A and B are shown apart, each in its own frame.
Chain A
Amino acid sequence: MTILKVEGLYKHFNHIKAVDGINFEVAEGEVFGLLGPNGAGKSTTISMISTLFPPDKGQILFKGSSIGKDAKSLQKKLGVVPQDVALYPTLTGYENLGFWGNMYGLRGKLLKQRIEEVASVIGIQERLKDRVDKYSGGMKRRLNIGAALLHKPELLIMDEPTVGIDPQSRNHILDTVLQLNRQGMTIIYTSHYMEEVEYLCSRICIMDQGKIIASGTKDELVEIIKGQQQVSLKLDKINDSLVERIKRLPGVGKAEVVEGEITVAGESVDGILADIIAEVGKSGSHIAGIDVRKPNLESVFLHLTGKALRD
């Protein structure tokens, strides 16, 4: 059953097309991923779904009802974890959760009970009485999630919830997302971290420059570049002529410089690896490392846009 449907959504800011005619559906009980680089339009899309501002064109349907006509019905059932930590740093964790519970109409014993439950889910029971400005970045992120869970939302939107935190907190958050989903919560998860989306999401939309450039399950997306392999070469020096020469090699689909490495994609990179190495040798560069990868969402994005997700 579709819980959320986005139809022909447009949003322009001055002359910038932040969201440019996107369509997608989110099924009840799934973890839906919005993947794309910074500036792809993910945050603008979820801001419109969150009722922060209306679209210029198009509509968003929550359980079949347009949220433009009845935002309140969605707001009660929606939890949003903003990209930035949206908390009061000088209040304690408990006071923050209490306030956000109040904003969703929770009071008294029920509020206290929900704070305890949520604190347990996000793993900050021991630090609830501490001021938030004394928390680590990871703990703040976890509390940021907790504030969106108090009213037991049916739909949880998480906008880049793991940006700038340590691996341990990141893993905890990812596990929390899966745990919430197992409890029946529908989740829209936006990220530019390909691995997170691959790990969590059953279906994925890839966005770039305000448009959805591909969507489907992970397998369906990888199918786009079926049979393509990717090899990354770490060199002591890279020049444009070398990249151009590699591109002209038979069997090479794409050759790009990504994060200081030459990334080459082709149907069978194994077969042409010797030719690539020979070209590097001719250019006078020395190889510091070679990494041959199976197709993944990164490869898909590279294939579709000609650039890396982190660009």
Chain B
Amino acid sequence: MKIADMIRKDLKIILSDKKALVTILLMPVILTAILSSALRGAFSDGEGIGKIQIAVVKEYHIEEESEKFLETLKGSLLTQNMGKDALDRLAEGAEKFDIEKIFFKEFLDSEALQKFVEYRITDEENALQQLRDKAVSAVVVLPRDFVYNMKINVVTPFRNQVSIKVIGHPEREIGRQIVQSIMEAFTDNMAAIMIGKNVILETALSNSLGTDAFEDMEAIVDRINNELRDIEVEITALKAEGRRQVSSFAYYAAAMMTMFILFAAGHGGRLLLDEKDNITYNRMVIAGVPKTGILTGKFFTIFVLALVQISVMVSFSSLMLKVYWGSFPAVALISISAAFAVAGIGAMISAATFKSGNDKMANIFETAVIQTMALLGGSFFPIEILPSFMQKLSIFSLNGIALKAYLKIMRGYGVVDILGYLASLVIVGIVFSTLAAFIFNRKGRGERCSA
């Protein structure tokens, strides 16, 4: 009961401190609104700009489809009245049209694209595994009949559907979007060539310049075009495993929240020192409150404070920014685990500042440790843009762990998928609480009325 009284009193003190309120509650709200709005266009998910890895899957069979094209050409209405020489010329032209060379050598290997993209050709199963492992940002699938259809589209007046699939990972949304844009650029160019070709061909036919090979071509092309009116080159963008995308608002709401709950630890870390300076610590001891009870009170004050921050941020972002946080029980579970970890760190800082008699420890935590954790944990920008060694260090950032858990739930993963993160947060809380108790109960040299 006394612990509840201490928590209530501490919260009153903190909430009566306007400066603390601004830092703890208002700043994350403001920063979320600013950052997410500012980066809305350039950023939609947990990924930054770098050299994007793509896996390309070739579902087509080039020789088989080339052969099939020639047979189609020979048996088609287009060439029924065409002389042998004209037909050979047409077949030769089709042979020369090497879509594979155009796509890989002239397009993906171009100097401009090499700056952004690295690709590897593999089978579908392997590509999807690499995507799951986040070894690649997207998988590009060149479908069955890709060569055949492209030859039809380029060599004849006909237009067949070519669907290039771009499969992205929900946690590599920027990469997927860039790959999609690249594929769109390719198909747009191809479409422009086809349209140009068709215009020339139709003009030639209308002026009887198509010689015997293109007699009655206009009528034939019209008929086929009528049948294939809706067919055009398109890109299908899919998300791996059907997960939700995370908007910049959602990302920064979680990122700012997980960073700013660390300030609860810093702020709470000064509470014991304040009690010592105000002599109220001694007064509580005289009143019969056990030392461990006092430390426990600080732990739960920080815990409740972090939960208040989380509640404010989740409510604000849900109502004002329309952020979808995912399943409530899962969000509650992450929030409690994160608050527990923050409370453990806060209690440790509290014990250390109490013993040292100054708030250097809390200052260092707020000025250096939180900023470093924020950088490594992805609170300012997604960690994917950081060098790989820094990305590995992100496991040491409490906010980074919590952020990953929140993002997973936002993307539609289940609690099972975040158990590792939850366990990490709980372990952090336990380790730091134990450390706090050890530091607090350790008798200092020359310690007088404080213990």
Contact = CB atoms under 8 A, between A and B. Distances in A.
A1 interface: no
Interface string A61-76: 0000000000110011
A103 B282 contact: no
Nearest to A73: B288
Contacts of A76: 288
A82 B283 contact: yes
A54 to B, nearest CB: 11
A122 B446 CA distance: 37
A103 B286 CA distance: 10
B282 A52 contact: yes
A120 interface: no
B18 to A, nearest CB: 10
Contacts of A85: 278-279
Given A13-B446, A75-B287, A100-B287, A82 B282 contact: yes
Contacts of A78: 286
From B17, B287, B448, B449, residue with most partner A Cβ within 10 Å: B287
Contacts of B282: 47, 50, 52, 82, 86
Nearest 7 interchain pairs by C-beta: A86-B279, A75-B288, A102-B5, A103-B287, A86-B283, A90-B16, A50-B286
Contacts of A104: 287-288
A86 B283 CA distance: 7
Given A82-B279, A86-B280, A91 B13 contact: yes
A220 B326 CA distance: 81
Contacts of A50: 282, 286
A190 B382 CA distance: 63
B9 interface: yes
A13 B448 contact: yes
A90 B13 contact: yes
B286 A88 contact: no
Contact of B288 (A72, A82, A99): A72
Contact of A102 (B2, B17, B451): B2
A51 B2 contact: no
A168 interface: no
B289 A103 contact: yes
Contacts of A89: 278
B135 interface: no
Contacts of A86: 278-280, 282-283
Contacts of A87: 278, 280
Interface in A1-40: 13-14
Nearest to A95: B12
Contacts of B2: 102-103
Nearest to A131: B16
Range of interface residues on B (Cβ < 8 Å): 20 to 34
A23 B36 CA distance: 71
From A52, A80, A95, A147, residue with most partner B Cβ within 10 Å: A52
A53 B448 contact: yes
A131 B16 CA distance: 10
B284 interface: yes
Nearest to B283: A86
A88 B451 contact: no
A80 B283 CA distance: 8
Range of interface residues on A (Cβ < 8 Å): 20 to 34
Contacts of A72: 288
Given A76-B288, A78-B286, A87-B280, 8 more contacts: A51-B285, A52-B285, A75-B286, A86-B278, A87-B278, A99-B9, A102-B1, A103-B288
A51 B279 contact: no
A84 interface: yes
Contacts of A90: 13, 16-17
From B17, B279, B446, residue with most partner A Cβ within 10 Å: B279
B449 A47 contact: yes
Contacts of A99: 5, 9
Given A47-B449, A75-B288, A103 B278 contact: no
7 contacts: A52-B285, A52-B449, A72-B288, A90-B16, A91-B12, A102-B5, A104-B288
Interface in B137-169: none
B283 A147 contact: yes
A82 B449 CA distance: 11
A91 B286 contact: no
Interface string B436-451: 0000000000101101
A103 B5 contact: yes
A100 to B, nearest CB: 7
Contact of B446 (A14, A53, A71, A95): A14
Contact of B278 (A53, A71, A88): A88
Nearest to A103: B287
Contacts of B17: 90
Interface in B46-69: none
A8 B250 CA distance: 68
